[in-house]
């Protein structure tokens, strides 16, 4: 495909975005039409358009890379993570359909907002232009704020939405200020054009001038990834929203933010990074400062997330702190600033996707049985619902990093990348925090299988659809101990950035 594309050829590259746009408009119009409608119809309509977008994305995997309409970048990283968010939202919609505790209130708006967040994510992961990146981040963010406050009469939900909006607005403004400083230095919003100016600035020893806008931009990404010290919103928001929405925030939103961060660092600072043998960028004061900044954030995030999770009794708050700890693990790979480090971060994000979606699905399944989202509500339910109980143990083992789960190999690859990148203390801290996480994860397994039910575990009706989804995610967590497919996908994704 030539670089100068005709309008119709360029339009073919963004057909998945067009499909999602048409889908969210269709869902909105469907919800506004008069007459009695079942809430499930909007979910099935949304799933249909997501399936169409996924099919178009799969067909685009072997297409030549291109930049269309001046700002939209179509490359393997973008395509893979668009599939990531599409499938994650598909699972979230399936969880929502299986949630017996939710009323029909706000269902149509929920499906519309999930598709809108998907569209924003598409542009977030698929651009080298900082303005479009910011617009994608804001589209995702505004949709997430509205999802958090969809149940206006719920006090906890309203409080969660307010905190989310306040923290998000502050982080977004700081990120935009950092982007403006980069533009002032480089005279362009294009990442690959910025890279040339940043190399000159680093050679001239202007590390502080480079580090300030980088730090400001990291505030915005830190908020989305719930990195320390920008993680304070996560526990309250996860507890206050519905379980499917919490799963979306923990997996979908965090995954695409990681992809955008990898693209931003790998392209904008490409002249200063250490890619491959014989192509080491010049070691500068800025490079050392950036490694120190990212590694300290990663270490503090691991420590805070895992230690704070030890005292939690609410399952969604526990998983919120768990997701903070895992964000630290993922950032460890990015902090190495090497090709292997980026690959390990992307590969672990795929593993995190399966394990964390499954963990939130577990909360939904057992909350439907007991009516409680506390660990105490799980007592004895593992024996009454063995399929969901065994799947839960698989997710917990994977999140801890125990074999024979994909979480073991994913964490090992992260630690290897950090070790070879000179961050040995972070690799050792990861091993230590994995031991700590064993204590709070297996409090859940103990409640399911090793605690007498007493009167706290009612004999709820089985949910075969949700049980099947849990079994599917658990099977993936076990199958991908054969890590090559996930690693190949990560190498395929990151390779497009390195070649750029």
β-pairing, 72-74 with 66-68? Answer: antiparallel
Measured N-to-C along each axis, helices 207-225 and 130-148 cross at an angle, to the nearest 10 degrees, of: 30
Give the Cα separation of 67 and 94 in Å (integer). 34
Q: For the chain, which residues make up each domain, given as ranges?
A: 292-500
Phi, psi at residue 374, to the nearest 5°? -95, 160
> Token pair for residue 124?
């977030």
Give the Cα separation of 75 and 84 in Å (integer). 14
pTM of the model: 0.92
Backbone region of residue 401 per phi and psi (left: phi > 0; alpha: psi in -120 to 50; beta: other values): left
Give the Cα separation of 313 and 400 in Å (integer). 18
H-helix or E-strand spanning residue 90: helix 76-98
Q: Do 264 and 252 contact (CB within 8 A), yes or no?
A: no
Give the Cα separation of 129 and 188 in Å (integer). 9
500 residues of the chain, pLDDT tens digit each: 345 567 777 888 899 999 999 999 999 888 887 766 666 788 899 999 999 999 999 998 888 888 888 889 999 999 999 999 999 999 999 998 888 776 656 677 889 999 999 999 999 999 999 999 999 999 999 999 998 888 766 777 778 888 889 889 999 999 999 999 999 988 889 998 898 888 888 888 787 888 899 999 999 999 999 999 898 888 989 988 889 999 999 999 999 999 999 999 999 988 887 654 433 344 677 888 889 999 999 999 999 999 999 999 999 999 999 999 999 999 999 998 888 999 999 999 999 999 999 999 999 998 888 778 888 888 888 888 889 889 999 999 999 999 889 999 999 999 999 998 889 999 999 999 999 999 999 899 988 887 776 555 455 567 788 888 999 999 998 888 888 888 899 999 888 887 65
Give the Cα separation of 111 and 103 in Å (integer). 14
Give the Cα separation of 237 and 255 in Å (integer). 18
Give the Cα separation of 128 and 496 in Å (integer). 12
Give the Cα separation of 235 and 159 in Å (integer). 12
H-helix or E-strand spanning residue 68: strand 66-68
Closest to 191 (Cα-Cα) out of 276, 273, 270: 270
C-alpha dist (Å) from residue 382 to 205, 234, 309, 356, 417: 60, 28, 22, 19, 37
- Determine the pLDDT at residue 102: 67
Supply the DSSP string of 115-135, one letter for each residue. HHHHHHHHHHHSBSBHHHHHH
How does DSSP classify residue 328?
A: H
Torsional sign, CA 333, 263, 249, 470: negative
Closest to 489 (Cα-Cα) out of 294, 351, 295: 351
Q: Do 229 and 457 contact (CB within 8 A), yes or no?
A: no
H-helix or E-strand spanning residue 458: none
Decide: helix, strand or coil at residue 113: helix
């Amino acid at each position: 495909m030539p670089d100068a594309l005709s309008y119709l050829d360029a339009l073919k590259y963004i057909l998945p975005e067009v499909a999602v746009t048409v889908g969210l408009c269709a869902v909105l119009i469907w919800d506004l039409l008069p007459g009695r409608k079942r809430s499930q119809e909007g979910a099935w309509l949304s799933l249909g358009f997501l399936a169409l977008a996924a099919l178009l994305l799969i067909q685009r995997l072997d297409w030549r890379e291109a930049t269309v309409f001046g700002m939209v970048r179509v490359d393997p990283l973008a395509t893979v993570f668009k599939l990531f968010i599409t499938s994650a939202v598909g699972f979230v919609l399936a969880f929502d359909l299986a949630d017996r505790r939710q009323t029909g209130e706000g269902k149509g708006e929920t499906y519309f907002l999930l598709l809108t967040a998907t569209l924003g994510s598409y542009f977030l992961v698929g651009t080298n232009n900082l303005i479009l990146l910011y617009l994608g981040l804001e589209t995702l963010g505004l949709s997430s704020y509205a999802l958090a406050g969809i149940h206006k009469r719920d006090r906890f939900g309203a409080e969660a939405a307010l905190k989310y909006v306040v923290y998000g607005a502050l982080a977004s403004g700081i990120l935009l200020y950092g982007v403006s400083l980069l533009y002032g230095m480089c005279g362009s919003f294009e990442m690959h054009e910025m890279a040339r100016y940043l190399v000159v600035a680093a050679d001239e020893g202007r590390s502080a001038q480079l580090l300030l806008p980088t730090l400001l931009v990291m505030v915005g990404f830190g908020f989305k990834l719930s990195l320390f010290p920008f993680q304070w919103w996560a526990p309250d928001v996860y507890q206050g929203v519905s379980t499917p929405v919490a799963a979306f925030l923990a997996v979908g939103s965090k995954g695409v933010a990681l992809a955008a961060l990898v693209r931003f660092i790998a392209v904008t600072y490409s002249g200063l990074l250490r890619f491959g043998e014989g192509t080491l960028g010049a070691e500068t004061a800025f490079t050392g400062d950036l490694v120190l900044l990212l590694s300290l954030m990663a270490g503090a995030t691991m420590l805070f997330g895992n230690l704070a999770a030890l005292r939690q009794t609410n399952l969604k708050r526990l998983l919120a702190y768990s997701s903070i700890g895992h964000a630290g693990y993922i950032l460890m790979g990015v902090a190495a600033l090497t090709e292997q480090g980026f690959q390990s971060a992307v590969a672990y994000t795929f593993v995190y996707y399966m394990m964390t979606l499954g963990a939130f699905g577990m909360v939904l399944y057992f909350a439907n049985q007991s009516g409680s989202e506390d660990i105490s509500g799980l007592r004895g339910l593992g024996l009454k619902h063995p399929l969901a109980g065994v799947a839960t143990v698989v997710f917990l083992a994977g999140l801890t990093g125990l074999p024979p789960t994909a979480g073991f190999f994913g964490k090992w690859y992260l630690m290897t990348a950090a070790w070879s990148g000179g961050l040995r203390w972070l690799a050792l801290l990861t091993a230590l925090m994995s031991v700590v996480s064993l204590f709070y994860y297996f409090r859940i397994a103990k409640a399911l299988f090793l605690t007498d039910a007493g009167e706290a575990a009612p004999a709820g009706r089985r949910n075969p659809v949700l049980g099947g989804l849990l079994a599917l995610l658990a099977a993936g967590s076990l199958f991908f101990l054969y890590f090559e497919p996930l690693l190949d996908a990560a190498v395929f994704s990151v390779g497009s950035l390195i070649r750029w």
